[in-house]
Chain A
Amino acid sequence: MTTSNYATERETTEGKVFTVTGGDWDQVVSGTDPINDERIVVNMGPQHPSTHGVLRLILELEGETVREARSVIGYLHTGIEKNLEYRNWVQGSTFVTRMDYLSPIFNETAYALAVEKLLGVTDDVTERATTIRVLMMELNRISSHLVWLATTGMELGAINMMLYGFREREYILDIFETITGLRMNHAYVRPGGVAQDVPDDAIRKIRDFLVLMPKKLKEYENLLSGQPIWIERTQNVAVLDTTACVALGITGPVLRSAGLAWDLRKTMPYCGYETYEFDVPTHTDGDVWGRYLVRLAEIRESLKLVEQALDRLKPGPVMVADKKIAWPAQLAIGVDGMGNSLEHVAKIMGQSMESLIHHFKLVTEGFRVPPGQVYVGIESPRGELGVHAVSDGGTRPYRVHYREPSFVNLQALPAMAEGGLIADVIAGGASLDPVMGGCDR
C-alpha cells in the first residue's frame, strides 16, 4: 500500500482539505476504451430513494445497459463492534439491536445465544424464554419481509404496495411495543433469557394478527402476482444460480430462490426449531420473481410458527435461575416511565442483603464470561446472521464480530447487474434486501 491510494490533500487557511475521489475508481474508468466515449459513469446514491438506504452504486453504462457496477458502502458505519468492547456483556444487547434495524430481535438473539454459549448456560435457558424468542423472531421475520415487499413494490412502481406493507408492519410493531416497550431497538432478548414476560394483552393482539394477516397476504397476491408490469419487472431479472450464490456466500431467500433449501432453522437448528412444524419454501428460477414468491411463502410459514409458539407458551420463568447471571431488575411502568418495580426496590433495600449485592454487582460490574470464542449462526430474514464472540475472561466482550447477511449479500450486486438494464439494477438490488444499518454496522 502506498499513500497514492489516499485522497489528495491541500492546505488552506481553514486547515487541510481532502479531495475524496473514491479509491480505485479512476482505474476502473481508465481501463475502458478511451476512443469510445459512449460509456458513461453514473453515480447512484448514497442519497437515492431506490438504493435501500445509504448505498452508493457506481454504474458504467453503455446506453441503457450496465457494463460495470460497483457498490460503495460504509456510509452508515457506526463502530458498534468497537463500542461493544467498552460496555459490559449485558449492555451489548442495546448496541447490537441497532445494527440491522429491520430485524432487531435477530441481532439480539444471535448475540444472546453467543454469550450463553460462552457462559455454558445454553441448556439452562428456560423453555418459556426460548419459546418467546421464537415467537418474537418469527413476528420480526414477517415485519422485515413486509418492509421488503413494501419498498420493492415502491421501487418497481407499485406505490400502493408500499402503503399496505408498512400498514401491516405497524400491527407487528404495535405488538412489539406492548411486549418490549419499544417499536424498534428493543434490547429485549438478553443473555440468559428475555427482559420481561409477555403480557396477556400482547397474546390477544398476536391472535388477532394471526387472523388478519392471511387475508392481507391474499390481497398482496391479488395485487402483484398476476400483474403484468410486476411480472415483467421481476421474471428472469437479476438471475443468480446456486453455484454463484454459494461462491459469493449468499444465503437466505436469495439462495432458496435458486433452489437450495438451506435454512439454518432446519439444517443447524437452534432455539428448538427442530421441534416446530414448518416448511422451507424454495423456487428454482433464481430471479427476482422467485425471491418474491419465497418471501411471501416464508411469511406464511412464520405465521404457522407464531401460532405453534403461542400454543406452547406455558407459564414459567423467562430468565435463567443463576442469580450471578440473571439480570436482577423486575421492571414496571411507573409515573416517570419504565424502571425497577417497587417490589424489587423494597426487596433489595429492605429485605434481602443478598439480592442487593447481586443487583449492585451485576449492574455496576456485570458478570464475567470465561475466556474462549464461539460462533453462532442463525437464520435472519436476509440469511445467515453469525456472531463471533471472543471473551478474555472479563466483564466486557473482547471482540464481537457480526457476519451480516446484508454485507455479504451485497457482493452479489455486480454479478446480478452487469450486462442487464439499468432499471434491473433496482430490481436486483432490492431483491437482495440489504439493510445498510446492518451492512455497515
Chain B
Amino acid sequence: MSNDRNDDGGVPVPSVPAGASGTAPAEYPPASPAGRGMFGNQGTGDVSGYGGLVRPRRSIEEASRPYGSYFDEVRDALEEAYPQFGEAIEKVVVDRGELTLHVRPERIAEVCQVMRDDMSLRFELCSSVSGVDYLGADGRRLHVVYQLTSMTYRRLVRLEAAVSAEDPHLPSVTAVYPTADWQERETYDMFGIVFDGHPNLTRILMPDDWEGHPQRKDYPLGGVPVEYKGAEIPPPDRRRSYQ
C-alpha cells in the first residue's frame, strides 16, 4: 500500500489533526488502496480471495483525426494561434462527445490566455476548475481539470493538467479568468495543489487550521461505528462492500 502522507513537497503535510484522539477520522487508514480488492476490506476477514484482485486502470488513449464535431476546428485554431502547441499539449482525447486537451502544467496559463483571446477560439467563460486524484495511476497523480465554455461559438473544451503530489505546482489562471480565484482556492484546499501566482491561496471550505487535503484518495472518509439493534455498523469507508 503506497503511503503518500509523508511526501512533503512544500505543502502542509496531511497528518492527524492536533488534539485529535484515537478515534479521530484522520487516523483511519484509507478504505483500500486504489483499484485493489473486491469488497473493500483489507487484512482480515476476507477469505474469498477477491481481496487480491487488482483492477487495471484505464490508460488515457489519444484520439486520432478526424475527431468529429467542432473538435478538429478547435485543435487547428489552437495550433495556429499557439506555436508551442506540440510542446504544451501532451494529448488530445475525445471521449463521449467531449474534447479534452492534456496540457503540460507549466503551460496552462499560456494556453488559457490563447483559448480566451484568439478570435477563432473565444473561450470567454471558465465554467469550472477542480481536481481529481488518480492515486496509483502514475507519478503525476493530481489532475487539475478546467472546463472552458465559448459563449461565442457555444462550445465546450476541457483542459487537464497533471502534477505530482511531491511537486504540486502549476501557474494560476486567475489573471486570465478571475472566476478561477475561489475555484483554485477550493482545489488547493481539497487536493493541496498549489497555484503559483494566485493572489490569495488560502483554504476556503475547510477551517484555516485544518491539516491535510480531504479530497485526496489517501485521505480517509472517517466516521464512527454506530450501534443498531445490537449490531455494530462500521463507518461507510470500512464497510464490506463492492467497489
Contact = CB atoms under 8 A, between A and B. Distances in A.
Contact of A1 (B12, B58, B95, B100): B12
Interface stretch (B70-78, B80-88, B173-181): B173-181
B200 A81 contact: no
Contacts of B96: 117-118, 120, 372, 374
A249 interface: yes
A384 B205 contact: no
A249 B149 CA distance: 10
A372 B12 CA distance: 30
B158 interface: yes
Contacts of B10: 1
B11 interface: yes
Given A247-B179, A372-B96, A403 B206 contact: no
Interface stretch (B44-52, B101-109, B127-135): B127-135
Contacts of A23: 202-203, 208
Contacts of B34: 392
Given A20-B209, A401-B130, A375 B243 contact: no
Interface in B1-21: 10-12, 18-19
DSSP class of B's interface residues: helix, strand, loop or mixed? loop
Contacts of B221: 82-83, 85-86
Interface residues of A, number: 65
A86 B208 contact: no
Interface string A355-381: 000000000111000011111010000
A373 B146 CA distance: 13
A45 interface: no
Interface of A: 1, 3, 5-7, 9, 15-16, 18, 20, 22-24, 73-74, 77, 79, 81-83, 85-88, 117-118, 120, 246-251, 260, 262, 267-268, 364-366, 371-375, 377, 384, 386, 388, 390, 392-396, 398-399, 401, 403, 407-408, 410-411, 440-441
30 contacts: A1-B10, A5-B208, A9-B18, A73-B204, A74-B204, A74-B206, A82-B221, A83-B236, A87-B236, A249-B178, A364-B241, A372-B58, A374-B96, A374-B98, A375-B127, A375-B158, A384-B149, A388-B128, A392-B57, A392-B58, A393-B55, A401-B131, A401-B145, A407-B183, A407-B186, A408-B183, A410-B182, A411-B179, A411-B182, A440-B205
B114 interface: no
A246 B58 contact: no
Given A1-B12, A6-B208, A86-B237, 14 more contacts: A7-B208, A15-B19, A16-B18, A16-B19, A79-B214, A268-B156, A373-B132, A377-B149, A377-B156, A386-B147, A395-B242, A399-B132, A401-B132, A411-B181
B209 A403 contact: no
Contacts of B31: 86
Contacts of B151: 246, 260, 262, 267
Interface residues of B, number: 58
Contacts of B149: 377, 384
A87 B221 CA distance: 11
Q: Name which of B98, B126, B182, B214 has the most chain A CB atoms within 10 A of its CB.
A: B182
Given A23-B203, A249-B127, A81 B215 contact: yes
Q: Name which of A377, A401, A403 has the most chain B CB atoms within 10 A of its CB.
A: A401
Contact of B58 (A77, A393, A407): A393
Interface in B191-243: 194, 200-209, 214-215, 221, 236-237, 241-243
B33 interface: no
Contacts of A20: 207-209
B166 interface: no
Nearest to A262: B151
Contacts of A366: 242
B176 to A, nearest CB: 10
Contact of B243 (A18, A120, A394, A399): A394
A23 B203 CA distance: 8
Contacts of A364: 241-242
A5 B208 CA distance: 8
A407 B182 contact: yes
Contacts of A440: 205
B154 interface: yes
Contacts of B58: 371-372, 392-393
B205 A77 contact: yes
A364 B240 CA distance: 11
A384 B179 CA distance: 13
Contact of B132 (A384, A396, A398, A411): A398
B110 interface: no
Q: Name which of A15, A249, A371 has the most chain B CB atoms within 10 A of its CB.
A: A249
A22 B18 CA distance: 18
A377 B31 CA distance: 31
A107 to B, nearest CB: 15
Contact of B178 (A247, A395, A399, A401): A247
Contacts of B209: 6-7, 9, 18, 20
B27 interface: no
A153 to B, nearest CB: 28
A408 B179 contact: yes
Contact of A24 (B100, B145, B194, B200): B200
